[in-house]
Amino acid sequence: MNKIRKLLSSESGATAIEYGLIAAFVALAIFVGAQMAGNGLNRMFQQTMVVFTSEILLLGLLICGAIQDILRFKLPNWLTLATAVVAVVWVALTTPSFGNILLHAVAGVAMLATGMLAYRFNMLGGGDVKWLAGLALWIGLSVDLVRFLMLTSFIGGLLAIFILLLSRLKPAYGLRDGKRHLPYGVAIAAAGLDFWFRRGQLSQDLMILANS
């Protein structure tokens, strides 16, 4: 029970990046409201703008999460919550059927349950577990989720080697409570960027424009 309480405990700290993301969330809320009120071609345009805004927010959250973990060795709860909330909007607008939407929800729950086991045995930090679950909502229960986890693990291994080498130059980096911590959020963010570039509508449109 104490492990669950620790996992769910909140973390504080606001930066200029976070305020920028808050402003983007306000814009997303306005777009969603317009989407509900609009119709016809106007509604299609508004839906596209909501999808693009969601994907821009995800990009910002991935970058912000990596920076947070490098500097503070923390992935705060607002990051996970924001990732999950934007995922709900994006999935609702880009997923064709309720069955597919359900697969995204199952992926998030399954990742959280599996991650809690890893947290129980001190294999992952609480912030890592929750952010992985939030990103699993975006990806869904598919081969993309397997790719995401494999990339996270591989990049995490490379990161561990880098931190070991870095510790020779900066022995104090990552030391907390007598243990050396790994900014695993960097690996999670990198794998998330792979998903963003391959599956995001905005990135696909930008690639088409670049190649035309």
**What digits encode the pLDDT tens for the residues 129-186?**
999 999 999 999 999 999 999 999 999 999 988 888 887 888 777 666 667 778 899 9
Once rounded to an integer, what is the mean pLDDT over residues 116-125?
86
Q: Which residue has the higher pLDDT, 48 or 108?
A: 108
In angstroms, the CA 106 to CA 81 distance is 17
| Residues 52, 54, 55, 61, CA torsion sign | positive
Which range is most confident: 5-14, 74-83, 87-96, 135-144?
Answer: 135-144
Q: Which residue has the higher pLDDT, 176 or 63?
A: 63
- Residue identified by tokens 């995800």 is 58
What's residue 8's pLDDT?
53
As a whole-number percent, the residues of the chain with pLDDT over 70 amount to 76
CA proximity to 58, closest of 192, 155, 186, 161: 192
For 15-25, what is each residue's pLDDT tens digit?
Answer: 444 545 555 55
pLDDT exceeds cutoff 50 at 11: no
Angle at 43 between CA 57 and CA 107, to 5 degrees: 45
Contact 68, 183 (CB under 8 A): no
Contact 76, 11 (CB under 8 A): yes
